[in-house]
Amino acid sequence: MTTSVARYRAQPTVLTALRTPRLLVREVLAGLVVALALIPEAISFSIIAGVDPKVGLFSSFIMAVTIAFVGGRPAMISAATGAVALVIAPVMREHGMDYFIATVLLAGVLQIVLALLGVARLMRFIPRSVMVGFVNALAILVFLAQLPHLIDVPWTVYPLVAAGLLILVFLPRFTRVIPAPLVCIVLVTGAVILLNLNVPTVGDQGELPRSLPELFLPHVPLTIETLSIIGPYALAMALVGLMESLMTAKLVDDVTDTRSNKTRESWGQGVANIVSGFFGGMGGCAMIGQTMINVKVSGARTRISTFLAGVFLLILVVTLGDIVAVIPMAALVAVMIMVCVATFDWHSITPATLRRLPKSETAVMVITVTAVVATHNLAVGVIAGVLAASVMFVRRVAHLVEVQRVVATDADGEVARYAVTGQLLFASSNDLTTMFEYATDPNRVVIDLSGSHIWDASSVAALDAIETKYAQHGTTVQIIGMNPGTSAFHARLSGGLG
């Protein structure tokens, strides 16, 4: 137990940050950088969902502020996301705003229910190869999202992006007092204003709101018909949101060497979505790009940065909208490209790593990445990766069962002894019945299971079939060496499976 705890660093608390000026400044500046990066993303996701830009912006503000209090992973950023927008966009398109918000509210309720049912514990079944594929796919998706801002644009965009990347690469080598992304945004914006360059800006992405969010109660009939309309989309949103959030939380745990409460994060996401829905927001989940800006690039570690990201976002779009509107997209694109580079697990694709890893591990990673990039749905990729890993694991285990036969003579005559080693489950037990010499064995057979373990009913049925085949030849079978778990399982099912 001591060794397990020692693996993790002590996590800075909010009180520690408030008492330490250096840490507090870092948290404040990180929150500001994240807020700036959230604006174009929230507008873009609003467009995907088919709603007004202010819906995504207000949702990002509300979710960030709410999750700062109720979330289980400090410093993780939750806001409006593309995956959630894609899932619930059909509701807005086919049924309108009231049903859209009702879907968000129901999804929040479902997330709380799933959290109470222990959905966070399912994270233990996600293999490392799927996690690596998830991270690499996220980096690729974030990069692909920047391409529209680099195609069919004035040529001056490219030197601006290049200048921004140089700032992001070299400034941290001299100082980390001020986050490099903030310096990049300020300097590139200043250059555009001074040189009077005509390049795409944040203002070109959509109109920024001029007022505070207001309470919104959806007017939908509380009937089974309404539930049949919004239920499937709400469940899909709940699952996608939880999967993205829990995977991102695990990633942040690894980056910071700290632990987080995944169950709290699960119901916290539900609470944040419910609050977002009641203020007319589109809901969302954890955001990998902005979280990496906050944690990996800016060095934030506490809930202060998450809270201030939401507060700064509201201040920027409502009171300083005219200033924010002139920020060139080139600056934000440079920041996001740097996030992609920092997020991608480059070690996973080096020749040395690929040579050492089993081909099945590499295949699972590739399947996960391919599925995510092809569908732009992280949940689909993770499910595909887990299924592929499960199939390959079962296939590998199926070939690890061995049966050794020895014929000996004792006081009672000849006896054939079979030593079975390996894990007996449906995949391996299917061939078990073919490994015995039914016709040529003597009248007594002993099957030794001391080197194996029975995991399912298929294995019990296989042993029953072996005894039946021997009985047809007048042979007596004795099974020995079962461990307590195997013995109890076998005794409960043997003879009753048909």
pTM over 0.95: no
Are the beta carbons of 168 and 335 closer than 8 angstroms? yes
pLDDT of residue 463: 93
491 phi/psi in degrees, rounded to 5? -65, -35
pLDDT band at residue 9 under the 50/70/90 scheme:
low
Residue 269's pLDDT is 97
> pLDDT band for position 8 (50/70/90)?
low
**Taking the chain, what is the end-to-end CA distance rounded to the nearest angstrom?**
46
Long-range contacts of 1-7 (CB under 8 A, 24+ apart): 7/257
With bands split at pLDDT 50, 70 and 90, how would you rate the model's confidence at 498? low
Q: Which has the closest alpha carbon to 284: 462, 122, 55, 491?
A: 55
HSE-up (13 A, CA, CB side) for residue 368: 30
Query: pLDDT per residue over 225-257, tens digit each?
Result: 999 999 999 998 998 899 889 989 988 998 888
Cite the DSSP H helix spans in 376-419: 378-398
57-86 residues labelled b (16+ CB within 10 A) or e (exposed): bbbbbbbbbbbbeebbbbbbbbbbbbbbbb
Mean of all residue pLDDT scores within the chain: 88
pLDDT tens profile 145-184:
888 889 999 999 999 999 999 998 998 888 777 778 888 8
Instruction: Give the model confidence (pLDDT) of 432-465 as tens digits.
Output: 888 999 999 999 999 999 999 998 998 999 999 9
Is the pLDDT confidence value at 421 over 50? yes
Q: Is the pLDDT of residue 4 over 60?
A: no
Report whether 388 contacts 367 (CB < 8 A): yes
What is the band of 36 on the pLDDT scale with cuts at 50, 70, 90? confident
Q: Does the pLDDT of residue 199 top 90, yes or no? A: yes
CA distance 496 to 494: 6
> Tell me, what's the pLDDT at 234?
94
Judge residue 311's burial from the number of C-beta atoms within 10 Å of its C-beta, 0-12 exposed, 13-18 middle, 19 or more buried. Answer: middle
Output the six-digit token pair for 109: 């309720």
By percentage, how much of the chain surpasses pLDDT 90?
49
Element spanning 405, H or E:
strand 402-410
Helix extents (H) in 147-223 = 157-174, 180-194
| Beta strand 413-424 pairing with 444-454 | parallel
pLDDT given for residue 407 in this prediction: 92
Query: What backbone phi and psi angles, to 5 degrees, belong to 150?
Result: -120, 5
